Structure 1
Amino acid sequence: MFEPVLLKSVDIRSAHLLSTYEAGGGYQALAKALRDYTPDEVIELVKQSNLRGRGGAGFPTGMKWSFVPKQSGKPTYLCCNADEGEPGTFKDRIIMERDPHQLIEGLAISAYAIGAETAYVYIRGEYVTAIRRLEQAIAEASAAGYLGAHILNSAFNFTIHIHCGAGAYICGEETAMLESLEGKRAQPRLKPPFPAVAGLYASPTVINNVETLICVPHIVARGADWFRDIGPDKSPGPKLYCLSGQVRKPGLYELPMGIQLRELVEEHAGGPLPGRKIKAVIPGGVSAPVIPERGLDVGMDFDSLAAAGTMLGSAGVIVIDDATCMVKVATRIVEFFHHESCGKCTPCREGLNWAVKVLRRIEAGEGAPGDLEQLEKLCKGIFGNTFCALGDGAAMGLRAALAHFRDEFVAHIEERKCPYH
């Protein structure tokens, strides 16, 4: 049976303090890793758990760690991607505000495994409370001997630095984040070389998401079998789901990976608002293609959602009811991606610009015959032709909206107005 990882009985006012974290068994996993495991054994343990990255890509974490070269002659770095710019996503912010020591312990164990002595937490600058809580937690952990030199009387040395971003969505892409950390304009790099070989300062670098890193202490403390027993075999473990939109009980829910999307929305989140019906759900932040109501009987895991033509992404679940215009939703999403494009790739820079113009025209009741075919052509030109996944996310989202709700687009063009507004 699944047991929530986060403590239920903690006073929310003191949840971020070291004393609270230690009272719940905090930093015992770090002590166990340093005492009982070699770095390679920690990597093997994480491989056995089949922990997949919670940042969106779902790549096996232990495998990513194993790519780091052992004798590169350069320092190895660990980077935590806490930028969290995906609309509909707020899980990492809650972790850093309410339980920052869990992240620090995850960083320390992960750094020990890959041979890193320095970590950077790249956090979006708007997360003021999270930044302050994390700074306080780092100071507490350093004073208690969990960070610094010879941690817990071992040969392991480790320090954490916080780097505040400036609100650029593109920094959620790992190589753009590295560029920003180095003081350059945040634009994605051409890969290969991959960060594991030539990342931060051209040195071996591992980049993990906040939620990925907080799973590591529990795997070390409870074992790989415990983790694999939660959720499906190919995507095991607990998962944080961000519920927002037109739903009765929005919030952050911790449930097993693979839970049915319909159960998540209708039971845990209370279903649609009074008098409304669910029209569609975006399952993984606005990068993920929308699912119509008839498709909600799908597992919330990487493989099940991919088979359904969408993706888990950041698990930012956005509920859309039957009073909402899908043309307006599609327009706002593409406007967001156009605004956040770094401009490096011509298909993304120019294609999204034209897509926004066409969508705005349709939404304003000025659409023309052939506009939908033009949008599909633009999606085809963008998808798969960019340095990073920003353009792909925009194209996939627009394609899904056109496929599932084409009648609404047609109505805007034929009636020359929005049927909903």
Structure 2
Amino acid sequence: MPTTPPSLQALLARRRPGHSLEAPFYLSDAVFAADLEHVFGRHWLFVAVEPQLAEPGDYVSVDIGRNSVLLVRDDDRQVRAFHNVCRHRGTRLCAAQHGAVGNIVCPYHQWTYDLAGTLIHADHMPADFDRSRHGLKPVHVRTLAGLIFICLADDAPDDIDAMLRETAPYLAPHRLADCKVAAQVDIIEKGNWKLTLENNRECYHCVANHPELTVSLYEYGFGYRPSPQNAEGIQRFKDTLAASHARWEAMGLPSREIDTLDQRVTGFRTQRLPLDRAGESQTLNAQVACKKLLGGFTAAALGGLSFWTQPNSWHHFMSDHVVSFAVLPISADRTLVRTTWCVHKDAVEGVDYDVKNLTAVWNATNDQDRRLVEESQIGVANAAYEPGPYSPYTEELVEKFCNWYVQRMRALAL
């Protein structure tokens, strides 16, 4: 006889630390609905980069579950966010993923809003109609060194201020806001969003699955169990890490790890890590993909500054380009992964950079990860699946993601 699926409360209560989550966390429509409400509806989400909104009137629309959010740069060059819903009868205002407008005009009855969200035109309304009470509904928005975060909750977590304060010195030297988008690629993974994040939070799988990515990554940077056989290699990596950090910090580039992934509501982690071989960029030869370096950099071999945020992003800042990833859930078994590559705004395609070379590593890696996530989704649906133990040497960040998720769901969903 079919069994009654366990409640979310029961699943959260019996989660075993150091182990993967039970199958309903990845399969259940009810759990997915709770994820949308309590995780994606009440936390800060990375959704875009400022170069997508280069000029006043530029906009980006982002779908989060059934909610659509409109990001726009106003006439004062501030980034604003609104619910993408007309205040007349609810029509979606901007259907395109990106574009440019003078004002925001509803396609249905032409109610018109300025870039600050104020209703400035509504034809055929009575004389006592108060336009000031029908402006667009705002969404919380904050920017961090060119990264744009939004929160759908009425009361957004205020600890984002700490994240901005602590990480801005790491990210700001790359001057992402002075970049342009060189490429953006969306892929749909046939898997639950948590499997996408778990896969990202470890490199246990990298050597066997990511030949392009591992060109520029130090093998012992993945985290290994110390043994007599690898002790010398691990020590060499530690020495390289320490020397690199000392050199970069002497250049004014903060590099040492900050990790609050499961310690705060707005959890994050950042660290600058050395890259192998040429040491310049995450490319097929570890050399820069763009000749025009970011910000005021004069040296190319600055490693890779990695920045992870809960619950939906990771980023790699290098001397020549920045690559950002946003994870947006579609259904219990479908997830959008949006990857954006940015280069210096004055870089010329075909002269300073080639898009194919710039995107080669992560296009290949994303496709490989898509396959891994999809095989995991198939596996957790098998009746034989049960939560397995994480490696404390290579999957520590996976455990921190799951621990953060369970903590937040216990706090908000029960």
- TM-score norm. by structure 1 comes to 0.22
Determine which structure has the larger strand proportion and give its number. Answer: 2
Q: Which has the higher helix share?
A: 1
Q: Which has the higher contact order (CA 8 A, sep 6+)?
A: 2
